[in-house]
Structure 1
Amino acid sequence: MTSSCVYDLYQTSDFDEIVVADADEVNAERLVEMIDDERVRFEPVDATDVEDIARVLDDADYVVNGLPFFFEETVLDAIADVGGLTGVDLNAFDFDAVLDRSEELTEADCSLWFANGGLVSTIALGMVGCEGFESVEDVNFYWGMWRLLTQTTTGLTATVTHEHDPNVDERARWEDGEVIDDLPPFSQERSFEFPDPVGEQETYVISHPEPITFPNAPIAEETDVERIITRGVWHEEWAEYERTLHAMDAFDTDTIEVEGGDVDPVEVAQEQVKRAGREREAEWQPPEELSTETDWTPQTILSSEVTGSNDGEDGVAVHHLEQPYPFFDGNDITTMREYGCYVGVPLSVTLQLMADGSVDEEGIFVTETSGLDAEQYFEEMESRGFELTEK
């Protein structure tokens, strides 16, 4: 996901040095070689080791955390230990636990933009939609995540599986000043029309934090937003995979014994999907050869649909943000690195906004409380080939 962040920092930033720290030396080195800029270099890191992460960050001014969410505590410990860092964080899980450390990072002279990546775009879409109305009834966020089942990474597979786990209570909507959570998977269904190739789809609630955080946006408070919900849809291969896990009670089944060993059926299913993804990600190809079995490129389309009124007249504002292709200027790359630019580019844009003082917050904060100028953000995204459309 952060490969495109690195590439965008190389193309648009004036940082003196950009360090790609990763456990995957082969692919990280290949990214560095493809960029071919003396400012960009690789550094091995053990993400399970606070001291090793701190070692990499020791001489840094800025940090981008693109590690899977289960490394979050380790990363925060390292950032606090080093101190004096400004950064952006792709993670959007364990909100309370992370935000509770804001005072600690403030004391360490650190600023960290949490729940970054694609979430910055959806929140900014909601802001722009609300700005067109005096009062707002509904804010609907939509994620159209369109890739085949085997077009994935380890982190994405874990995230999608988590999204549909019936034991997860993070699927929520905000209504009349209250968060209503613990919504069941595949519930709150609603038809929504995305741009091609996603098109019109039946969307359903997903465990994204917009209903929790967007009420804190100044524009949401100014327009007295009544309801907020986030829905999404994956390619039908992913939906079939998740519904099959539900149909066989995999999420609520204890481990089962297979040839003398205990296995978790969900972990087994995930591992097969992850393995196929790893095999694909080993293939660096020209962009025109990445999706030979489809007539479209894997992508995510982010949208907002805001219902409001002006002078008693109701209206609906729909905004879509579509990612460019190819993002890496035709260089050999992998499917998921091209797909991931909807996540990586916002990381780069927001980090540079912090570096030039356009966003100046302390501790740990989210997009809604960052003071972000949504129009400035979209100008930066459009300058990189993203397309913002309004209906």
Structure 2
Amino acid sequence: MTSACVYDLYQTSEFDEIIVADADKENSKKLIDLIDDDRVTFEPVDATSTDDIARVLDGADYVVNGLPYQFEENVLDAILNVGGLVGVDLNAFEFDEVLSRSDEFAEAGCSLWFANGGLVSTIALGMVGCEEFDEVEDVNFYWGMWRLLTQTTAGLTDTVTYEHDPNVDERARWEDGKVINDLPPFSQRRTFEFPEPIGEQDTYVISHPEPITFPKAPIAQEKNVNRIITRGVWHDKWTEYERTLHAMDAFDADSLDVDGGTVDPLEVAQAQVKRAGDKRDAKWRPPEELSDETEWTPQTILSSEVTGTNAGEDGTAVFHFTQPFPFFGGNNISMMREYGCYVGVPLSVTLQFMADGAVDKDGIFVTETSGLDAERYFEEMEARGFELIEKQSPAQLTSTSK
């Protein structure tokens, strides 16, 4: 995901030095060689060690955290140990725990934009949707994740499965001023039409934080938003896989004894999906050769659907946000790096907002409380090839009814 952040920083930022810190030297060097800029260098890092992360950050002004979420505490501790850092953080887990450290971050002279990445786009979509109305009833967020089952990485595989784990209690909606959580997987079904190649799909609630964080947005409070929910859809192959896991009780299955060893049925299934994804994505190829099994490139389309009243008339505003292809300048790249630009580019854009003072907050904060100018954000993203599509608006609906 953060490969696109590095590439965009190389293309658009004025930073003097960009260090790619990773345990995977081979893939990191491929990206650095593709960029071919003396400002971009590699540094190995052991994410299990707070001290080693701090070693890499020592002397830096800014930080982008794209490490897997299990290393979040190490990253936060390292940032505090170094002090005086400004950064963006891709992770969106353990909200209360992370945000509870905001005061100590402020005391250390640090600013961290938490739950960054694709969430910046969905929140901005909600903001521009709310601007269409005097009063807002519903804000519906949609994540359209369109890639085949074998078009994946280890992290994406775990994320999709987490979204459908019946033991996860983070699937929520916000209604009448309260968070209603512990919604079951494949519930809150709603049919929604995405742009092609996704089209019309049945979407279901997912465990994204918009229902918890969007009520904090000034525009949501100003427009008296009543309900907020986030739904998503994956390609049919993914949906079939996740429903099969449910049907075989994989999430609660006991380990099995096999040939003298013990195996977890869910871990075995996940391992095979990850192995297929690793094999498919290992080779860096020209963009036109990435999607050899489909007529479209794997992509994510983010959308918002806002209903409310304007001058006493009911209306619906629908916004879609699509990603460009190719993003990496037509260079040889892996499929999942192209796919991940919808996450990586917001990291770069928002970090540059912080660097130039357009967002100036202390401590740890989220998009809703950052003071983000949504219009400027979309202008920056569109300058990079993303497209904001307005499908419906109250004005259009009113003229049609007449």
TM, length-normalised to structure 1: 0.99
1:365 alignment partner in structure 2: 365
User: Helix, strand or coil for the counterpart of 2:378?
Assistant: helix
Q: Which amino acid aligns with 1:192?
A: F
User: Equivalents in 1 of 2:90, 2:268: separation in Å?
Assistant: 26
| 1:17-56 Cα shifts (integer Å, max 9, x gaps) | 0000011110000000000000001111111111111010
Q: Which amino acid aligns with 2:272?
A: Q
Tell me which moved more, 150-159 or 331-340. 150-159
| 2:316 is the counterpart of 1:354 | no
Gaps of 5+ in 1: none
User: Equivalents in 2 of 1:120, 1:176: separation in Å?
Assistant: 24
What does 1:4-19 align with in structure 2 at a 5 Å threshold?
4-19=4-19
User: Helix, strand or coil for the counterpart of 2:233?
Assistant: strand
Q: Which amino acid aligns with 2:385?
A: G
1:41 alignment partner in structure 2: 41
Q: Which amino acid aligns with 1:161?
A: T
User: Equivalents in 2 of 1:45, 1:277: separation in Å?
Assistant: 24
User: Equivalents in 1 of 2:187, 2:150: separation in Å?
Assistant: 25
2:301 alignment partner in structure 1: 301
Q: Which amino acid aligns with 2:157?
A: T
User: Equivalents in 2 of 1:77, 1:89: separation in Å?
Assistant: 13
Deviation at 1:281, TM superposition (A): 2.2
| 1:105-135 Cα shifts (integer Å, max 9, x gaps) | 1111110000000000000000000011000
User: Equivalents in 2 of 1:124, 1:231: separation in Å?
Assistant: 16
User: Helix, strand or coil for the counterpart of 2:88?
Assistant: strand
User: Equivalents in 2 of 1:162, 1:292: separation in Å?
Assistant: 28
2:242 alignment partner in structure 1: 242
2:58 alignment partner in structure 1: 58
| 2:129 is the counterpart of 1:147 | no
User: Helix, strand or coil for the counterpart of 1:211?
Assistant: helix
Tell me which moved more, 250-259 or 139-148. 250-259
Deviation at 1:245, TM superposition (A): 0.6
User: Equivalents in 1 of 2:83, 2:104: separation in Å?
Assistant: 10
Q: Which amino acid aligns with 2:174?
A: W
User: Equivalents in 1 of 2:42, 2:362: separation in Å?
Assistant: 29
User: Equivalents in 1 of 2:364, 2:257: separation in Å?
Assistant: 44
2:32 alignment partner in structure 1: 32
Deviation at 1:360, TM superposition (A): 0.4
1:282 alignment partner in structure 2: 282
Deviation at 1:252, TM superposition (A): 1.0
User: Equivalents in 1 of 2:227, 2:219: separation in Å?
Assistant: 14
| 1:122-156 Cα shifts (integer Å, max 9, x gaps) | 00000000011000000000000000111111111
1:68 alignment partner in structure 2: 68
| 1:223-265 Cα shifts (integer Å, max 9, x gaps) | 0000000000000111111111100001011222212222111
| 2:154 is the counterpart of 1:118 | no
User: Equivalents in 2 of 1:281, 1:21: separation in Å?
Assistant: 21
Q: Which amino acid aligns with 1:6?
A: V
2:161 alignment partner in structure 1: 161
Count of aligned residue pairs for this structure pair = 391
| 1:298-355 Cα shifts (integer Å, max 9, x gaps) | 0000000000101210000000000000000100000000000000000000000000
Tell me which moved more, 148-157 or 7-16. 148-157
Structure 1: which 4+ aligned runs deviate by more than 4 Å? none
What does 1:364-383 align with in structure 2 at a 5 Å threshold?
364-383=364-383
User: Equivalents in 2 of 1:287, 1:131: separation in Å?
Assistant: 37
Q: Percent identity of the aligned residues?
A: 79
Deviation at 1:101, TM superposition (A): 1.1
User: Equivalents in 1 of 2:119, 2:59: separation in Å?
Assistant: 29
Q: Which amino acid aligns with 1:176?
A: D
